[in-house]
Amino acid sequence: MSSNNKRNFLIILISPSGGGKTAIFTKILAENSEIKYSVSFTTRKARINEIDGVHYNFISEEKFLEMRNSGDFLESAIVHGFWYGTSKSYINKVLKKNHIIMDVDVQGAKQIMNSNVDHITVFILPPSREVWLKRLKGRGTDSDEVIHVRLKTAEKEIQEIRDFQYLIINDDLDKAVNDIETIIKAEENKIERYNNIKDYYGG
């Protein structure tokens, strides 16, 4: 998608747990080699099948706070009792050559929106509360109590949905991915993202 003459940007996916953002960005990454994934740091323990450095960088709270206090994070937030954060230096390095896709909660997204990093925001929702609950329970990774907490958190996040640019209803995975890829293409072609537009005409 990206061109050397266009400025790359951060693609921020925001979704409540069970919204399907992991399946979406996984498919986008598989179909678009020029888009890279931002691997966040977190203080929570790895789940089954999660790999350190691939899904998240799993670190101690002490290390996380040390990085945060030194200004290493573009965004950081406590979510469900654990710290999550994105490396500022990593983002700036990758954006020199590629777009970056990432998934964060509402708190993290708003911190990035207040930064000087070029970005777009896409909020993803399941088609209904019933489907949402089915997806959460189907993962088999959370207790009923944790699911309840996630639902309460999501209800608060949805109240802020109008603060973001795009909304995708994830009823069909392929359609959701295609819609986001269309958004990315449209954003690439915004005039302000061309670095030297006069070069096309010898100006």
Residue boundaries of the structural domains of the chain: 10-191
Buried b (16+ CB within 10 A) or exposed e, 122-149: bbbbbeeeebbeebbeeeeebeeeebee
pTM for the whole structure: 0.80
- Whether the CB-CB separation of 5 and 199 falls below 8 Å is answered with yes
Q: Say whether pLDDT at 144 is over 90.
A: no
The CA–CA distances, whole Å, from 192 to 7, 121, 197 equal 9, 17, 9
Q: Which whole number is the average pLDDT over 182-198?
A: 89
pLDDT at 104: 86
**Contact partners, residue 177, CB within 8 Å, separation at least 6:** 24, 27, 28, 31
Half-sphere exposure of 101 (CA within 13 A, CB side): 25
Share of the chain above pLDDT 70, in %: 90
Q: Tell me the per-residue pLDDT of 30-72, one tens digit each, with 9 for 90 and over.
A: 999 999 999 889 999 999 899 998 889 999 999 999 999 999 8
Closest residue by Cα to residue 10 from 70, 132, 96: 96
**Range ranked top by mean pLDDT from 26-30, 53-57, 70-74, 130-134:** 26-30
Which class does domain 10-191 fall in? alpha beta
Helix pair 144-158, 129-139: axis angle to 10 deg:
140
Record the tokens describing residue 203, joined without a space: 């100006």
> What backbone torsions phi and psi does residue 75 show, to the nearest 5 degrees?
-150, 150
Closest residue by Cα to residue 8 from 86, 101, 89: 101
> What backbone torsions phi and psi does residue 127 show, to the nearest 5 degrees?
-70, -20
Q: Which whole number is the average pLDDT over 98-106?
A: 91
